[in-house]
Structure 1
Amino acid sequence: MTEVPLAGGHITREVVRVGETVRRTSHGTSFAVRVLTYLETVGYEHAPRFLGVDDHGRDVFTFIPGRTTDHPSQRAAGAYAAGGTMLRGLHDATAAHELAGGRECVIHGDPGPFNTIFQAGLPVAFIDWDSCRPGDRLDDLGYLAWTWCIQSQGRVPVAAQARHLRELRDGYGEVEGDVLVRAILRRQTEIAETERANLQDPKHTADRRSHAKWAVEWATADRQLVERNKEQFLAALE
């Protein structure tokens, strides 16, 4: 069958569509496979299904039609609340499970809009589960809230960003505004520091270092936006 290359995420890797499946080079995804298999058994609908390994040693997943997004203009009313609800479902489904390894739950680890499939402007599934791991809810939620709602580029009014943040938080539920804002700032700082180290690591390829440079600038600019407008975000979350 014909292989169609797929683009997505922020780090290039081999990902192709074959019929109604997605096939990609395995990156030691045994934990992700266990998580996806478990999520299928409990009826969690917002993730691809793992279908096995093909003749080339690539992991095979169900293909989920739709697109990723990088601007609010590409998202429909209700998208932010739906995204929050999707993430809450993952956390609740894995809370206290053995996969959580004694932590609060399993987190996706990289649930940005670039790893979310949208249909008609609404999110339907998280993809790219390589970063899933045992963790704390707020780490995942802080990253989701940042990458979906905070945008120093794209000329999105801060008032709109604050409104989207409120919608996302309400979709997830039960998180105080100051707690969420601190989680956002913490994740922005962590990404900036991690990617700064990657930028300086000579073992990485030029493409990886280029991504690291972009990521440092992205996280730093978005963190500065939150810091400048912190009171407006907090007011929206009251």
Structure 2
Amino acid sequence: MEELLAGGNTTEGVVKAGRTVRRPRGHRAAFASEVLRALNAAGVTWAPTYLGIDAEGRDTFSYIPGMTTDHPSQRDERSYAAFGGMLRELHDFSRGIPLASGAECLVHGDPGPFNVVMAEGMPVALIDWDSVHPGDAMEDVGYAGWTWCIHAVGNVPVADQARRLRQLADGYDAELRADVLIDAIFRCQDSIIRIEGANAGDGRLSDQRRRHARTAVEWAASCRHVLSTNLQLFTDALRHD
């Protein structure tokens, strides 16, 4: 018996079947499955186990109990550093391996909290590997810093946002420079505003897709405003005195 999975940014058609998850294969599925096989072989415990392709042509993964989160109230305060450490493990593991194709490392590409399974407030799995690609580690760190820590909604005090950003940064690299991380966050936000802004005005796309694009632009722009108007507070929190 199959149960449709929803929530977060779940791809349409993802289901739970027993102790497995079945997911329709996209155009990046072959590469993503290679990456997961490599992580599984290396014993990376937070990577879903890739189990192959089922009779209906869907990718099959181990099911990991837990939930995704969209607000700090759903997370343990230790989760930010813990997730920073998970990203560092991915990047360190993939430096110099053939799958990285000469780039700095492999980049998950979408490491927001909507793609992290949490149990008792702590991250236990990074899921949805369709966007994995060779690239620059700061793509992931900037995006995670933004999506985990910077909030324009939800009544999260900015001082708490800055403190959690420091925790995530320390979990990744205790020597990470404030200006490098903040620049990476701005670049991620500006990229979403640019790409989804173009999609919002593309008449070839469905109404639903264009609505999603407008929502993404509003989200990125509002979070960018939080960061830019409180830049000194975030910078001070990230400094290593």
Same fold, TM exceeding 0.5? yes
Q: CA deviation at 1:8?
A: 3.3
1:100-155 deviation per Cα after TM superposition (whole angstroms, max 9, x unaligned): 11110000000000000000000111100000000100111000000000000100
**C-alpha separation in 2, matches of 1:50 and 1:189:** 34
User: 2:80: which partner in 1?
Assistant: 80
Shift of 1:197: 1.2
Q: What do you get for the CA RMSD once the two structures are aligned?
A: 1.0
Residue 199 of structure 1 and its aligned partner are, at CA, apart by: 1.2
Deviation string, structure 1 residues 7-51 (Cα, Å, up to 9, x no partner) = 134365110000000001110200100000000111111111111
TM-score (norm 2): 0.96
In the TM superposition, 1:203-214 aligns within 5 A as 203-214=204-215
Aligned equivalent of 2:147? 147
CA apart distance, 1:90: 0.4
- Which ranges in structure 1 are unaligned for 5 or more consecutive residues? none
- What amino acid is the match of 1:117? V
5+ residue gaps, structure 2, are: none
2:179 counterpart residue number:
178
Q: How does 1:1-238 map to 2 (within 5 A)?
A: 2-10=1-9, 12-28=11-27, 29-173=29-173, 174-238=175-239
What per-residue deviation string (whole Å, max 9, x for no partner) do you get for residues 41-64 of structure 1? 111111111111111111111111
Q: CA deviation at 1:205?
A: 2.1
Residues in 1 aligned to 2:221 and 2:113: alpha-carbon distance in whole angstroms: 19
Would you say the 8 A contact 1:11–1:211 is kept in 2? no
Q: Give the counterpart letter for 1:227 in structure 2.
A: S
Q: Read off the aligned partner of 1:87 and give its amino acid letter.
A: L
Mapped partners of 2:197, 2:41: distance in 1: 39
TM norm structure 1: 0.97
Deviation at 1:94, TM superposition (A): 0.3
Percent of aligned positions with the same letter in both sequences?
Answer: 52
